Amino acid sequence: MLFADLKPALISLSTAFGSTICCVLPMTIVLLGLGSGAFMMVTMQYRIILYPLGLLGLVTAYWLYFRRKKVCEAQACQMQGKRWNIAALVFSTVLMSLVTYVDFFLVSL
């Protein structure tokens, strides 16, 4: 399996984890009692930058996956890393949904 086969999975995971740095990670640390509200406020000030980059990365990962799938169907070949890509895309979508829920609904309370 080549790196190009797993590119959509790697892009989706890295951007989803990057976007969670601003919202989910600080909230988890504070809820576990390991940090303070000041830590959460410092990291959440970057959500204006990280959240759109996470969405852009997730959309890019889906685009790369479906483009690769279309090329494989046209060439009648077996797509390598299909399960890993789908698992990573689903996980990243769930993670971004969690970030969206935290950012737009819980933070505004």
- CA 22 distance to own-chain centroid: 12
pLDDT category at 46 given cuts 50, 70, 90 is confident
Residue 24 has a pLDDT of: 67
Query: What gap in Å lies between CA 34 and CA 40, rounded to an integer?
Result: 11
What pLDDT score does 107 carry? Answer: 63
pLDDT above 80 (res 59): yes
* Contact status, residue 69 vs residue 89, Cβ threshold 8 Å: no
CA distance 107 to 74: 46
How many angstroms separate the CA atoms of 103 and 97, rounded?
Answer: 10
pLDDT digits (tens, 9 = 90+) for 69-103: 888 888 888 777 778 888 888 888 888 888 778 77
Q: What is the pLDDT of residues 16-34, one digit of tens each?
A: 777 677 666 676 776 777 7
Listed ranges 2-11, 53-62, 97-106; the one with the highest mean pLDDT: 53-62
CB atoms within 10 A of CB 66: 11
What's the rounded Cα separation, in Å, for the pair 44 and 29?
A: 13
Going by pLDDT thresholds of 50, 70 and 90, the confidence category of residue 1 is low
